[in-house]
Structure 1
């Protein structure tokens, strides 16, 4: 029988205390929103600061909505070990062009 495990991702965190609390609670991934229209948006630099707080087995996720390839590259440069999440009108080719593991919401 295959063994499946539900993974938990908390998205939209912007403060150190919230990141730390999520890690303490046992999350598997923490998402950082890089979408300027979101009230939970952070810059790539801020995402990097917060991602540095994560232990090795907690995955940072960068969430993009219809971002330019240049902005995606900025995010990837700031948080090179991140999984990418695309949440806009990106095509499969757009997602693959980022050259990183990704999920499509």
Structure 2
């Protein structure tokens, strides 16, 4: 018609379910949010403490999705903002407490 052009991808020639599935497999990829790589806790595998400080180092904190134990069910943006807000509070308190 006057408003729409021809289908671009996968194309009008793709009519069988098997062909459409294969086209989707060929074109699509995974999108993921890395999380949980810098575990919080007191056990030997933990990277940061409850104040986000890296064990064994002074002046270094981890403030990102890597401290989350598991990936959240939605986008990681809001939880990481919350982690950053909490980190800002912790850093501010540490500055005033000496």
Larger Rg: 2
TM-score w.r.t. the length of structure 1 is: 0.25
Report the TM-score when normalising by structure 2. 0.26
